[in-house]
Amino acid sequence: MKLYNYFRSSASFRVRIALQLKGLPYDYVPVHLVKGEHKKEGFASIAPSTLVPMLELDGGERLSQSMAIIEYLDEVHPETPLLPRDALGRAKVRALAQDIACEIHPLNNLRVLKYLVRELKVDEETKNTWYRHWVREGLEAFERQLAALPRSKYCYGDTPTLADCCLVPQIFNGRRVNTSYEGLPRTMAAFDACMAHPAFQAAQPSNCPDNEP
């Protein structure tokens, strides 16, 4: 498998975690988002979405959207499951993942930040306030969701799930603009548990071949 991705892309990071958790080897193909490589001929001709991550299977099929990719990997490589066995548990884990992937992350995408600066002419501080606002508000909602669940080591249960694959990159992401994570005990306990796990360590941006310190 080949994973087209970018060290700092949160959605790419989610898939790298899943691949590491399952112990699946893959070729890392860097696509430099800040240099706009995702919109240039090479990548755009094979990825109609022009988005990373994009997973190319050994048979040549190409998959997009991080949560869809992770669920595919979980179905085809069921060892180390990333979703609970029961339908209700799966619904809870998917909802936690979507609380991040649909409510927080889209607002702080590179293309959105560019629009704020180029079209709405906001200054750096206003842009960072926007960024922190959505991360903080979204994680407060996430914390309330966790608080409604039984206590557990990770977001849901005592093994990592799709929800943890989404949470960890979001925490990294918000740190870049100094978001406060005060008062989010369940969320940060799950994050800390993940970061003590070698798969999450291995997948983090600083361990990527295209990392820029």
Residues 106-125: x/- map of binding to a copy of itself (CB under 8 A)? xx----x--xx--xx-x---
Smaller CB separation from a copy of itself, 22 or 197: 22
- Picking from 58, 100, 95, 94, the residue whose alpha carbon sits closest to that of residue 76 is 58
Which residues within the stretch 28-57 sit at the binding site for a copy of itself (CB under 8 A)?
A: 48-51
Q: Is 80 left (phi over 0), alpha (psi -120 to 50) or beta?
A: left
Which residues neighbour 41 within 8 Å (Cβ) at sequence distance 6 or greater? none
Strands (E), 106-152: none
Strands (E), the chain: 2-5, 27-30, 54-56, 62-64
Residues 128-167: x/- map of binding to a copy of itself (CB under 8 A)? -xx--x-------x--xx-xx-------------------
Smaller CB separation from a copy of itself, 126 or 207: 126
Binding residue (CB under 8 A) for a copy of itself from 25, 27, 58, 88: 88
Neighbours of 160 (CB within 10 A): 26
The answer to the question of residue 126 lying near a copy of itself (CB under 8 A) is yes
* Whole-number Å distance between alpha carbons of 193 and 155: 9
Site for a copy of itself, rule CB under 8 A: 48-51, 61, 63-65, 67-69, 71-72, 75-76, 87-88, 90-92, 94-95, 98-99, 101-103, 105-107, 112, 115-116, 119-120, 122, 126, 129-130, 133, 141, 144-145, 147-148
